[in-house]
């Protein structure tokens, strides 16, 4: 199942599954002052694997929960009509090696696959690194988020 929309037997099988299946990737972000080690699973920007982008909204719910994201559908987008501006986003699949963390059941999480969504200014830096390194696949990065105004994916 690589598609965002399921039909037929696959859709009904999911509805009747005994245990809900996690069908999404956790989104990667860093807290201020934190460090991480990540490696890229995609991002070579070749003819066989071009880098793609989409438009996205980020918003706070009425009960104050932040962050939330949804894809902008363009013309007649209800989120745009609410005055929430969309921005360009470039997704990368990564493995977060460090830091590890424990959930409420004390299960340790490490080497998790996550979705790193990069905005325009950070993407300009990523493209430079893609060019210098001839792609990102397999590269390991130590990343640091320096402050409030730094990218949520890290800036160093």
Q: What are phi and psi of 16, to 5 degrees?
A: -100, 5
Q: Among residues 143, 85, 149, 151, which one has the least CA distance to residue 121? A: 151
User: What global pTM score does this model have?
Assistant: 0.80
Residue 19 predicted with pLDDT over 90: no
Strand partners for 59: 68
d(CA 60, CA 51): 28
| Torsion of the alpha carbons at 141, 148, 61 and 103, rounded to the nearest 10 | 50
Q: What would the pLDDT profile of 84-139 be if each residue is shown by its tens digit? A: 999 999 999 999 999 998 989 999 999 999 999 999 999 999 999 999 999 999 99
């Amino acid at each position: 199942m690589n598609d965002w929309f399921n039909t037929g037997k696959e859709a009904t099988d999911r509805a009747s599954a005994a245990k809900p299946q996690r069908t999404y990737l956790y989104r990667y972000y860093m807290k201020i002052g934190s460090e991480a080690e990540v490696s890229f699973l995609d991002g070579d920007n070749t003819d066989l694997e071009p880098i793609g982008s989409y438009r996205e909204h980020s918003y706070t719910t009425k009960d104050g929960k932040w962050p939330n994201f949804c894809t902008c559908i363009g013309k007649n987008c209800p989120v745009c009509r609410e005055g929430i501006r969309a921005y360009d986003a470039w997704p990368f699949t990564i493995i977060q090696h460090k830091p590890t963390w424990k959930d409420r059941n004390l299960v340790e999480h490490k080497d998790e696959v996550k979705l790193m969504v990069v905005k325009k200014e950070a993407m300009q830096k990523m493209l430079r690194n893609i060019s210098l390194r001839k792609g990102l696949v397999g590269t390991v990065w130590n990343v640091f988020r320096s402050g409030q105004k730094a990218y949520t994916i890290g800036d160093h």
